[in-house]
Structure 1
């Protein structure tokens, strides 16, 4: 009967009507949709709460990080300020120390100049007198002078001349320690070739040059250094049957001057660069023990290291050079 009434109602209204079963199904679906909507709203609320909590935590972390960074920056600024004050204090101290050293160096230079002048004049005056009076005495004695007297006078003049050479060497040695350096970059090969051409053009000992490199040094002083080292090598190599001198680069910063001469005894190893120290007797080789001391003095002024060693049957003079940075 209900179904018939529903059909009649649908016929008169012109609209389809759902059956009770369909209405129940629709109500069930509507209930499910409402439940889902409520669940979604609950989930959305939870997400909003979690997001708010996360934002609060992020803000707290950012605040803590900001405070930490500000603390570190403040500490670093304080540290930099302390270092700056310490540096300024050190700079003032170094400046004062530099001024003190300059004053001391100037005082030392004045003393050396005074000593050089004293040696050059006051010490030479007695030598000139001794030399002159020896000639006067020889002239007074004339041809009747005893042979012993002539020999003694000749010995006096010879030693006076030697003393003059020693005084010149001492003055030059002192000058090398205080003279200003004209540091320029030069070719090592060009300098050595110039030294050999000027001083060893007629050397009886062959000199072989195999060097390279640009270094900063005082040209005049380093030419003197090489002249002394090569002269020492040639002098002691000359007596052997096949003498030779080789100048080579053992490394990019190490120059060696090698000779196959007679060498020197280990007893002289500690004193070989001492001024006026001879490593051979006066009757064996000429010289006054000046050359090596001059060379070592010049090397020291350039912060180079000069060494002399006997290796097998060869004498090796090695120079550790500072590069031109």
Structure 2
């Protein structure tokens, strides 16, 4: 190309406002104007003779441009407003016109880049915002290995905030990989979060501590997917985090100090608790000590009650006013600070209490300025009362008073529970006394009012039979015999019931008793029935025990009689009585004398072991075996009066064993 033509083209390019560049057929830059160098951020002398595609390949995909340039050179054509996207952002595009120019037998490419002032201004404004914000903003493009797995990210954009956290600038990191610049993300889990965001499209967030120059750096960040890349917005929260950790450490220190204070107070209180006495005396002594320690004008402890309208009120149990025990009083919960306490919350209003609760007559009457209170919680979890301090001026030593009231509240809860249990026990005892009186009255009625008409029935029935027996038919005689038998059974039932109910009323006198001698006496008293049944009582060596003689004789008599009564037909009854020293499985480590009364009778199913010891419980009909159903219940009660227990084993058709356990004294 001639010099004149070159000069002409260069002057045209130089005078153009738009970025323009002249390339040879190998795409080397022959000449470019100032606008071109500004657009591509190039020094003016650094671009000449450089390959245009190499100049822009870090930001743009050059392969389609190469194909375009070849086509234009080949066809000698013009292509207008050709657009190509930036590698770094889909929003960053370049648009240009390209034309093939021939001169002196050579072909050249002239590129004229289109400019949009508004777009450039907007991009410039956006860039200034990104550069000045306190948030770090960066884009990371996913990189894949031969297996199609993401193994790294390339930093395609970052504002200064991100790299400056680590002493770097954007030019030091853009185009490089995370493994080169930020290797720590492969150890702290952030890399996995970025991969997951790309693969699922779901955003994520994290807070992480990084070490840089031996200092801890705290970052809070969010991750969003952007095409095949992730956009990470981060904020350096080191200052806030450090301040929060310092506050946490201070709070922990204060908590420890409060615990030390409470331990000291608890030790001081514990030494005093034992001297407080019980009940109202305890509460008055406790509140007097609180008043002495805190110098508060009023100290009050009260319980929750209901008034005649069913509204909750506080009834004071103990009140200290200006260091002296004062009269108790009641006051409403509504419209006062104790309303929140009764809901289970600690209340602290060290000043302006009357302003905060203007409807509270109690605060007004006592001219209270400061108020602190703790709820008293019962074992059921329900609030049963409160303990509070009230002062006619502002309360200052809040932490000390809080600790004092917290300890006092716990100890007061225990005393409250003890008093309530005492009241409950007193009520139970009164009810028991009332029932005993009723039982004694019933025993009297049974022994007199019931037995008197029964004796008349028996008397007149026997007289009628004596005088008119010869005039009765056989069926009438049978009816009268049934009347007599029924009256006799009722007599036995009443006597047994009186015997059972009199167990608790009888005087208790334990006497050392030789059980062998006691059994001999019983056998002598039962000689007739033993001979009638052809029964045999075999007795081993029995100990001498401290028992209630009359009751114990009845116990053994009932059990021997039981063995005779429930014997098998045509089989002579054999009753064996033995004793041994054992250690109870039910009361580990405690020794008992075990007395076994075994028989060879009809036995019973084992599942009825408990039932046979209940009043009026029978396993057989009255027509099968005589009895009232009270005998074994009396046995159980006698054994319990001796601080022991009784067990029974039965095998139908084989027999029964009744085992009496009496503690070794």
In structure 2, relative to structure 1, the CA distance for the partners of 1:137 and 1:235 (3 Å cut) is closer
Higher-strand-fraction structure = 2
Judge conservation of contact 1:207–1:246 (CA < 8 Å) in 2. Answer: yes
Instruction: Describe the superposition over 1:290-323 as per-residue Cα deviations: whole angstroms up to 9, x where unpaired.
Output: 3212211211222321122115833110112222
Task: Tell me which moved more, 230-239 or 146-155.
Answer: 230-239
Judge conservation of contact 1:205–1:237 (CA < 8 Å) in 2. Answer: no
- Distance, in Å, in 2 between the alignment partners of 1:255 and 1:276 is 25
Q: Does 1:244 align with 2:574?
A: yes
Of 53, 76, 79, which residue of structure 1 is paired with 2:270? 79
Q: Does 1:183 align with 2:374?
A: no
Q: TM-score, normalised by structure 1?
A: 0.63
In structure 2, relative to structure 1, the CA distance for the partners of 1:96 and 1:255 (3 Å cut) is same
- Which of the two has higher C-alpha Rg? 2
The equivalent residue for 1:144 is 471
- Distance, in Å, in 1 between the alignment partners of 2:271 and 2:518 is 50
- Distance, in Å, in 1 between the alignment partners of 2:469 and 2:518 is 52
In structure 2, relative to structure 1, the CA distance for the partners of 1:242 and 1:169 (3 Å cut) is closer
Unaligned runs of 5+ in 2: 1-261, 283-414, 583-591
Of 620, 633, 639, which residue of structure 2 is paired with 1:280? 620
In structure 2, relative to structure 1, the CA distance for the partners of 1:315 and 1:135 (3 Å cut) is closer
- Distance, in Å, in 1 between the alignment partners of 2:457 and 2:644 is 42
Q: Does 1:271 align with 2:615?
A: no
Instruction: Describe the superposition over 1:158-209 as per-residue Cα deviations: whole angstroms up to 9, x where unpaired.
Output: 2112111111111111111332321344444454444445445983333232
Q: Secondary structure at the match of 2:628?
A: coil
Unaligned runs of 5+ in 1: 1-70
Q: Does 1:292 align with 2:632?
A: yes
CA RMSD of aligned residues (A): 3.7
Q: Does 1:323 align with 2:664?
A: yes
- Distance, in Å, in 2 between the alignment partners of 1:147 and 1:237 is 32
Q: Secondary structure at the match of 2:499?
A: helix
- Distance, in Å, in 1 between the alignment partners of 2:471 and 2:599 is 50
- Distance, in Å, in 1 between the alignment partners of 2:569 and 2:275 is 66
- Distance, in Å, in 2 between the alignment partners of 1:138 and 1:192 is 40
- Distance, in Å, in 2 between the alignment partners of 1:187 and 1:118 is 37
Task: Tell me which moved more, 234-243 or 223-232.
Answer: 234-243
Q: Does 1:220 align with 2:411?
A: no
- Distance, in Å, in 1 between the alignment partners of 2:477 and 2:462 is 10
Instruction: Describe the superposition over 1:220-260 as per-residue Cα deviations: whole angstroms up to 9, x where unpaired.
Output: 11111111112212333474646422222354322211112
User: Using CA pairs below 8 Å that are at least 6 residues apart, which structure has the higher relative contact order?
Assistant: 1
1:210 Cα deviation after fit: 2.7
Of 430, 436, 440, which residue of structure 2 is paired with 1:113? 440
Judge conservation of contact 1:205–1:238 (CA < 8 Å) in 2. Answer: no
Instruction: Describe the superposition over 1:105-146 as per-residue Cα deviations: whole angstroms up to 9, x where unpaired.
Output: 443332222111111222223323433443565578563333
- Distance, in Å, in 1 between the alignment partners of 2:522 and 2:504 is 22
In structure 2, relative to structure 1, the CA distance for the partners of 1:117 and 1:209 (3 Å cut) is same
Matching of residues 1-325 of structure 1 within 5 Å: 78-82=269-273, 85=276, 103-135=430-462, 138=465, 143-199=470-526, 203=530, 204-213=534-543, 215-237=545-567, 239=569, 241=571, 243-252=573-582, 253=592, 254-265=594-605, 268-311=608-651, 313-324=654-665
In structure 2, relative to structure 1, the CA distance for the partners of 1:215 and 1:93 (3 Å cut) is farther
Q: Secondary structure at the match of 2:627?
A: coil
In structure 2, relative to structure 1, the CA distance for the partners of 1:199 and 1:74 (3 Å cut) is farther
Judge conservation of contact 1:189–1:212 (CA < 8 Å) in 2. Answer: yes
Instruction: Describe the superposition over 1:56-109 as per-residue Cα deviations: whole angstroms up to 9, x where unpaired.
Output: xxxxxxxxxxxxxxx999965642543564778779888777765554444333
- Distance, in Å, in 1 between the alignment partners of 2:564 and 2:484 is 29
Q: Secondary structure at the match of 2:602?
A: coil
- How many residue pairs get aligned? The number is 254
Judge conservation of contact 2:604–2:655 (CA < 8 Å) in 1. Answer: no
Judge conservation of contact 1:228–1:295 (CA < 8 Å) in 2. Answer: yes
In structure 2, relative to structure 1, the CA distance for the partners of 1:241 and 1:144 (3 Å cut) is closer
Q: Secondary structure at the match of 2:663?
A: coil
1:212 Cα deviation after fit: 4.5
Q: Secondary structure at the match of 2:502?
A: helix
The equivalent residue for 2:55 is none
Q: Secondary structure at the match of 1:127?
A: helix
- Distance, in Å, in 2 between the alignment partners of 1:76 and 1:101 is 37
The equivalent residue for 1:10 is none
